[in-house]
A and B are shown apart, each in its own frame.
Chain A
């Protein structure tokens, strides 16, 4: 019985936030009353190469969808931890991560990355010129691959954000 309980605790599969819930959390906290718009980012060869370098695997896809409110963007991206994709939402404000949430976790191990003690480490992190995170993120014992996947998605979302007109807006206003 104890074993079953421990197994249930360790198994972290599930949907933790829907897209709507994530967008609501991301865009309504600041009290901005602007419409949330859906946008597309088209990826050319060089962008795909950089995305592949960030993910450390070939990036498949020519178009990425994202959501915009004001100059904030939100990205919902997937990356495989060990065997199955983890769905991660990243809200970017002023070219830095405002919040990062695990929306759905499908693996049987490594689900600790969904907890706030891990995801809050990404708050206010931005991208260096080498497309790396500008602050250290502590790993989680036993969840190495999931941690890597979340870090890659954070870098990718920040990189994609830089390619949108909303990043340029922020830069010019600073």
Chain B
């Protein structure tokens, strides 16, 4: 029995019909991929990696919630709190601070100890400077305190508290052990709520968002499958488009 063949005109018509349908339905995805791709190609020039995500909705899509650590310090009527890698004073982000270890008031300055550096702040919360290992400080810190108006730093190595002169950048041994160490307190709930509303994550930036939208990951596993399916349909469109053009030559 002779094999039944589909007429070429019918095949062409069916292919054209599906080419159009698939092309129209993929328009949104093509636009999305083109725009995100273009932006990602110029990410360095546009400094997209430096633009932190602040939208609560977008951060919520990533499942970001402000961590609530116990470490808070109350100095000069202000709450100092380390959240993730940031220092917040009364709910306002002041700067980078990995693991807040203590805060003391030293003359007209506020000295904030993070794990690997000291931040000197004015009473207006302006950063005077950041001191770290290059300035002769022993790091990482365990805690800081005061003794007779001098700053005392207690680092892991050597495990012996010492006075640190923030002007001369010099360390001297303690003559006595009566140190008033900076102690943490429970953070009031209203302050926790403020921090939760302004909290951002360093690794989540516009570049990361664009990459995740481009790959479909932003929309979860279904998004990845949709982008995969779209890629296969793009292949189909390329082949069908080429075939249709070839037949009409």
Contacts and interface: CB of A to CB of B under 8 A. Distances in A.
Interface of A: 18-19, 38, 40, 60-65, 76, 80, 82-83, 87, 103, 144-145
A83 B202 contact: yes
B134 interface: yes
Per DSSP, are chain B's interface residues mostly helix, strand or loop, or mixed?
mixed
A145 B134 CA distance: 24
Interface residues of B, number: 22
Contacts of A145: 44, 49
A60 B125 CA distance: 11
Contacts of A65: 129, 131, 135, 169
Contacts of B126: 62
A81 to B, nearest CB: 10
A119 B187 CA distance: 47
Contacts of B128: 61-63
B122 interface: yes
A64 B128 CA distance: 9
B127 A60 contact: yes
B41 interface: no
B127 A62 contact: yes
A34 B112 CA distance: 35
Interface string B182-205: 000000000000000000001101
B49 A83 contact: yes
Contacts of B168: 38
A144 B129 contact: no
5 interchain residue pairs of minimum CB distance: A19-B134, A60-B127, A63-B129, A62-B128, A76-B134
Contacts of B129: 61-65
Contacts of B228: none
A61 B130 contact: yes
B69 interface: no
